[in-house]
Amino acid sequence: MSLLKVQNLSKRFGGNLAVDGVGFELAAGELLAMIGPNGAGKSTTFNLLNGQLRPDCGTVTLAGRSLVGLTPRQVCRRGVGRTFQIAETFASLTVLENVQMALIAADGRLFAGWRRAGQHRRDDALALLAQVGMQAQAERPCSALAYGDVKRVELAIALAGQPSLLLMDEPTAGMAPAERLALMALTKRLVVERGLAVLFTEHSMDVVFAHADRLIVLARGCLIAQGSPAEVRKDPQVQAVYFGSGRTFGAAP
């Protein structure tokens, strides 16, 4: 049974059909990569899923309930999380404080109150930090962290909302290759351990082929291929349209 079902999703910007009849499914416990050249419609698809944009047509359901027409806040409340960059104003707070704040915000959302704030949240925040391998750095200000570690904290913040589906648009942008692999290995572990569904975009083919369970490929707004990494790798249309004729999959640039 798929958690997320997307059918015939389309979005036009003026004369530009940015997303053109896209359909795919995503199950709990699955790590799905969306790849495609710049301008293929990946971010627009993410924004259609999370309520930032309203589709011109198409359906999006999470656990059988439609998400179309909901605000980003309402989509989030349904259990769709996304990674946000830690705002500059929060960089001076400690790692722990940032995750505690995310938990308190989630409480406000779930329980309409601040009843569970305080020491209890501190323990939960530490548990989340342990899951992303950041417990030892809990008392450091985020501004003092290495870039890859900031990304781990952002992941812990996203998990504070207890999402069933996590949307990650270019989560490893700006990271060194080893950090990219490490972040996606961590994400993959969370997918397996928590039964989380994750949709992510990523430019490095090394990262995609190392960790994705399945791939969908967009080109000019259309979904041109989907399947296992091995299936997509040998798809002639993917080879031709996405990678250009003559180019094959290989090491990341």
Judged by the rule CB under 6 A, the positions of this chain that interact with ligand ADP are: 13, 16, 18, 36, 38-44
Least distance CB 51 / ligand ADP (angstroms): 15
Q: If binding is defined by CB under 5 A, does position 83 make contact with Mg ion?
A: no
Report the C-alpha gap between 206 and 159 in whole angstroms: 25
Least distance CB 168 / Mg ion (angstroms): 12
When the beta carbons of 43 and 137 are compared against ligand ADP, the nearer one is 43
Among 4, 9, 36, 43, binds Mg ion (CB under 5 A): 43
Least distance CB 190 / ligand ADP (angstroms): 24
Q: Tell me the residue type at 30.
A: E
In the block, residue with structure tokens 């896209």: 22
Report the C-alpha gap between 161 and 80 in whole angstroms: 9
Compute the residue count for the chain: 253
13, burial (CB in 10 Å: exposed 0-12, middle 13-18, buried 19+)? exposed
Least distance CB 128 / ligand ADP (angstroms): 29
41 binds, among Mg ion, ligand ADP, none (CB under 5 to 8 A by kind): ligand ADP
179, burial (CB in 10 Å: exposed 0-12, middle 13-18, buried 19+)? middle
Q: If binding is defined by CB under 5 A, does position 187 make contact with Mg ion?
A: no
Q: Contact positions toward Mg ion, by CB under 5 A? A: 42-43
